[in-house]
Chains A and B, each alone.
Chain A
Amino acid sequence: MRRTDITPEQPVLVDVVTEPVAPPAQVRRTRMKLLRHMSPMSKIGLVVVGVIVLLALAAPLLAPFDPLAPSASRLAGPSGTHFFGTDLYGRDVLSRMLIGARVSVMVGFVVTLSALVIGGTLGCVAGFVGGAADAVVSRITEVLLAVPGVLLAIAIVATLGSGVWNVCIALTLGQAPIMIRVVRSSTLALRERPFVRAAHAVGATRLRILFRHIAPYVLGVAAVQGTFVFAHAILYEAALSFLGIGVKPPDPTWGNMISESRAFLSVQPWNAIFPGLAITLLVLGVNFLGDGLRDLVDPENQERS
């Protein structure tokens, strides 16, 4: 849904007359100022995401009980020993959520990195080289984007089978095309920029222009899109697991925990509430971060938001 959100246009940062081939100095400065210039909201986002990622990494050490074995009576509410209560088999919900966080975080990182690598490469090539390469890449992108995101993920997982890696493949196939589009249009816009033309005029090679002059800008735009990919990946993985075709029980994920809680919703609503809040909090954190990052990378957009 973010397809139209990102404007590839960026203000002209370098004065052509006085400084024709200057590398985008502003970009480097922006990178250093990143932390200092982040809005309070995006700092909150960074902290939330950071804490959840750390919890996920340390989950096996932190989990107070075995996430797969019953440790108390069934469907108990939150208490001093079981902070988030127990589920329908008497398993500790907090321990399951900690282990489940690993799936969300891992899927988020794997899909984001894959989308960045695939989308960054193909988008740059399509935008910079143009011609047949552009036509082929754009056409494939268009076809993948012709299927609504959720449906594409469901169709691919239905074909390949469930499991965390197949979920990653399915989500990458849905997210990479969006990244390709964003990077491509950003590259296209930059190609006509005075400082890029100037670099070309003084004899810089195409590769040098691509890596020295275009890539630094594109990286910022891609990073912003990357945060949205991360958020989408977490939401879609949770949805697929909720539907019973993503990561299947007994391995806990936030999505399949909510799914398992449904039959006992009126008896023990906490079993759905805690994992649901966890997903919302993580995605909210990522979105806070993404919005802040976008305002830094694309000041024009900030004007309007």
Chain B
Amino acid sequence: MVTYIVKRLGSTLLTLLLLSIGIFMLIRLIPGDPVVAMLGEDATPERVADLRAQYGLDQALIPQFLNWLGNVVTGDLGQSVPTSRPVADLILTRFPVTLVLALFATLLTIVVAVPMGVAAATRRGKLTDKTVLLTSLVGISIPSFFLGIMLLLLFAVRLHWFPTFGFRSFSEDFFGSLRGFVLPAVSLGALYLAIVARMTRASMLEVLSQDYIVTAEASGLSRLRIRYRHALKNALIPVVTVVGLNFGALLGGSVITEQVFNLPGLGTLLLASIDRRDYPVIQAIVLLISVIYVVINLLVDLLYGFLDPRVRYAKN
């Protein structure tokens, strides 16, 4: 297990290093002069020179990178170009909304998708199974923003069950604020719900065909006991990993959902920053979400290795 952990840690660190190089290079891939692109054509030469110095664009690439990496690791993500506010502050004020949205969507996924998958697997080939399969195919195929707009149209515009727009801060009205997250969480979670339902079904079917389940059946244990005590426990191992991996993807997907529902999270900040060509903010958001994604990946891998010893010895 220790060798496995060390190997995975090393490989993750290398990935993070290469990833930060990639994100660092992003700004240098902008066609033309990045500083002019950020400030606009009519910027004063002093401001251009100032910003160029701030990014170290007048230095060689490698010292520039090391300098930037050092700052990032110590939590200094630079300054926003138009407002000169520290990027870290901007991100911290927006992050809770994105995090709550992703957590909400994950919760929804687990609560709905796992029972769906189990129901489909235990009634294989029956109407329940077919309904679950078809629903999850639709869930995978419908664009999240379209689903969000349709939910808004039905539940907010027509039925007035939920607020249309307008976010309430957590401190001001906690439950009112959570209510505003219901529709966004459904529209963000639908895709992952579909994936987890399919995954649970497949995993459950595989476990149900194993010898020890057949033995348990033959020895006369009750069906329910077999399904929920023996089968589900093992069937959920791969599901846990998928839910974990999806959490990172949900943080990325929330960019779209936040835009649909006008939620003040990282996603709306990212898009506004793209509009303003505020590259330090863009870089920081991409870096932050990717790092979280990679770290979750690592944790899920380690957990999987812990739960299923075969993984530790399989690859590499």
Contact = CB atoms under 8 A, between A and B. Distances in A.
B248 A148 contact: yes
A283 B141 CA distance: 5
A159 B30 contact: yes
Contact of B29 (A154, A160, A255, A288): A160
Contacts of A150: 249, 252-253, 255-256
Interface string B124-144: 000000000100011011111
B185 interface: no
A262 B293 contact: no
B226 interface: no
A154 B274 contact: yes
A142 interface: yes
Contacts of A262: 149
B290 A304 contact: no
Interface in B202-225: 202, 205-206
A287 B137 contact: yes
Contacts of B248: 148
A269 interface: yes
Contact of A280 (B146, B282, B297): B146
B15 interface: yes
With most chain A CB atoms within 10 A of its CB, the pick from B15, B242, B252 is B252
B286 interface: yes
A155 B271 CA distance: 10
A14 interface: no
Contacts of A284: 137-138, 141
A43 B146 CA distance: 26
Interface in B16-36: 16, 18-19, 22-23, 26-27, 29-31
A140 to B, nearest CB: 8
Interface in A38-58: none
Interface string B243-255: 0001011011101
Given A148-B252, A155-B282, A304-B202, A279 B31 contact: no
A244 to B, nearest CB: 8
A245 B293 contact: no
With most chain A CB atoms within 10 A of its CB, the pick from B142, B202, B205, B251 is B142
Interface in A77-114: none
B149 A272 contact: yes
Interface string A234-264: 0100110011110000000001001000100
Nearest to A301: B202
B143 A160 contact: no
A265 B157 contact: yes
A97 to B, nearest CB: 14
A231 interface: yes
A235 B146 CA distance: 11
Contact of B256 (A4, A242, A304): A242
A287 B205 CA distance: 22
A266 interface: yes
Given A150-B253, A245-B271, A265-B152, A272 B18 contact: no
With most chain B CB atoms within 10 A of its CB, the pick from A1, A266, A286 is A1
Interface residues of A, number: 44
Contact of B142 (A265, A280, A304): A280
B146 A276 contact: yes
A148 B252 CA distance: 6
B149 A147 contact: no
B271 A243 contact: yes
Contact of B274 (A238, A245, A272, A286): A245
A148 B249 contact: yes
B29 A149 contact: no
B150 A276 contact: yes
B92 interface: no
Nearest to A238: B143
Given A154-B274, A243-B259, A262-B149, A159 B29 contact: yes
A132 interface: no
Interface string A137-157: 001001100111111001100
Contacts of B144: 239
A139 B205 CA distance: 34
Contact of A239 (B145, B149, B201): B145
With most chain A CB atoms within 10 A of its CB, the pick from B14, B149, B152, B259 is B149
Interface string A160-188: 11000000000000000000000000000
A276 B150 CA distance: 9
Contacts of A69: none
A158 interface: yes
A161 B31 contact: yes
A34 to B, nearest CB: 21
Contacts of B133: 305
B293 A143 contact: no
Given A143-B15, A146-B15, A239-B143, 4 more contacts: A4-B238, A148-B290, A283-B140, A305-B202
Q: Give the 9 A-B CB pairs with smallest separation, nearest first.
A: A148-B252, A276-B146, A284-B141, A283-B141, A151-B252, A158-B274, A143-B18, A150-B252, A147-B290
Interface of A: 1, 4, 139, 142-143, 146-151, 154-155, 158-161, 231, 235, 238-239, 242-245, 255, 258, 262, 265-266, 269, 272-273, 276, 279-280, 283-284, 286-288, 291, 304-305
21 contacts: A4-B242, A142-B11, A146-B294, A147-B290, A147-B293, A148-B248, A148-B252, A150-B256, A151-B286, A159-B27, A160-B31, A243-B259, A244-B271, A258-B146, A265-B152, A272-B146, A272-B149, A283-B143, A286-B141, A287-B137, A287-B140
